[in-house]
Amino acid sequence: MIDPFGREISYLRVSVTDRCDFRCVYCMAENMTFLPKKDILTLEELDQLCTAFVGKGVRKLRITGGEPLVRRDVMSLFRNLGRHLETGALDELTLTTNGSQLTRFADELAAIGVKRVNVSLDTIDPDKFERITRWGKLDKVMAGLDAAQRAGIHVKINAVALKGVNEEEISDMVGWCGQRGYDLCLIETMPLGDIDGDRTDQYLPLSLVRARLGQRWTLDDTDYKTGGPARYTVVRETGHRLGFITPMTHNFCESCNRVRLTCTGTLYMCLGQEDAADLRAPLRADPSGMELDRAIDEAIGRKPKGHDFVIDRRRSAPAVGRHMSVTGG
C-alpha cells in the first residue's frame, strides 16, 4: 500500500477496546462515556480486518487501546494473529499496555511470539503514580514488568512528560531504565479528547527536558529509526536508547508508515486529523472481502500529508475531539 505522498504503509495499530482500568489525567476524564458494546467489533472481526491488512502488505501489528489486556478473551485474538508470524507474513506482533495485567499474560504472549512490549509508565513514585493514573497501582505494574522480563519479552517504557508532575523525575527514570535494561521514550502531551483539566497546564516541551537531561547524561544522537515519530539518542552512561516524540514542536509526518484502526472498525489515516474510513460496513456486507479491499485502498489514497496539532490557550476545545484511547496510542 503506497499513499499519495509515496509513503509505504506497513504498520497497523489496532485499538481493541476504548475501555481501561486506569484514568490517566492526560488521556481520559474520570467519568468517561465509553462506546456502546453493540458498536464494538468481535475479536473474530478484528482478526479478519487485521488479516486483510497483512494480506495487503502490513508487516507490523500493534495491539493497543484503551487497555488492550482488559478486553475479555483478548488472548484469542493474539493467538489467531500469531499465525501470521508463523507463516512469515508478519514481522512483528506487539502491544502497548499500561502493564497492569502483564503478570497474567506475559508468558502466553511470549509463547505466541510477542518479543517486545511498550509499557506506559510516567513515574516510579507510587503516590505520584496514583495521582497520574487515578486508579492504578504501581506495584502491580512493577510485577508486570518483572513477569515480562522473566518471559523474555523486551520492554520499552513510554513516559509522557508532564509539567510540574514528573518533570523533576525524568532524569532519574533515565537511570532506572538503564539499570533495568529498558529503552525509554518520552512523549509530549497531545490535544486529543476532553479531559477534566486544562492541557496547557500539562504541556512540557521536550526541547526543555532534553536540555536539562544533558546536564547529567551524555546523549549521543543516532540515526536509529523505527519508521515512527521518535528521534533517538543513546545515553552514553547506560548504553540504552532514549527517544523523544515531539508532535508539538516537530513535524514527524514525512516518514509516517502507519494507519490506525479502532475497535468499531473505523480507520484513521492520521492520529491528528478527523478524516476516517468505515471498514465495518464493507467487512460485514461482503464475505468475499472484495469490498473491504476496495475500502482500504480508497482510504490509503486519502492519507493526509501531516497533522496540525496546536495547544492553544484561546481555544477551549481539543484539536482532535476523540481520545487517544479510541484511536489507539
Query: Which residues of this chain interact with ligand SAM, rule CB under 6 A?
Result: 20, 26-27, 64-65, 67, 96-98, 120, 158, 160, 187, 189-190, 192, 324-325, 329
Q: Which of 28, 54, 253, 271: binder of ligand SF4 (CB under 6 A)?
A: 28
- Please report whether residue 27 would count as binding ligand SF4 according to CB under 6 A: yes
Q: How far is the CB of 28 from ligand SAM (least distance, A)?
A: 8
Contacting range for ligand SF4; rule: CB under 6 A; set: 16-24, 179-187, 230-238, 300-308: 16-24
Cα dihedral 268, 269, 273, 274 in deg (nearest 10): -40
23 binds, among ligand SF4, ligand SAM, none (CB under 5 to 8 A by kind): ligand SF4
Task: Walk across the sheet containing 183-187 and list its strands.
Answer: 219-221, 231-235, 241-245, 183-187, 154-160, 116-120, 92-97, 60-64, 11-15, 258-261, 266-268, 276-278
Q: Report how far residue 220's alpha carbon sits from residue 178's, in angstroms, rounded to the nearest whole number.
A: 15
Beta carbon of residue 43, minimum distance to ligand SF4 (angstroms, whole number): 19
Q: Please compute, for residue 31, the number of CA atoms within 13 A of its CA located in the half-sphere on the CB side.
A: 0
Q: C-alpha grid cell for residue 93?
A: 506482533
Select the residue whose beta carbon is closest to ligand SAM and give its number.
329
Say whether 20 sits in a helix, a strand or coil.
coil
Beta-carbon count within 10 A of 73 CB: 8
Task: Report the nearest approach of ligand SAM to the CB of residue 23 (Å).
Answer: 11
Of the candidates 270, 280, 266, 262, the one whose C-alpha atom is nearest the C-alpha of residue 309 is 270
22 binds ligand SF4 (CB under 6 A): yes
212: its cell numbers: 536539562
Beta carbon of residue 99, minimum distance to ligand SF4 (angstroms, whole number): 9
**Closer to ligand SAM by Cβ: residue 35 or 89:** 35
Report the site for ligand SF4 in 45-84 (rule: CB under 6 A): 65-67
Q: Where on the chain is the footprint of ligand SF4 (CB under 6 A)?
A: 20, 22-24, 27-28, 65-67, 98, 120, 325
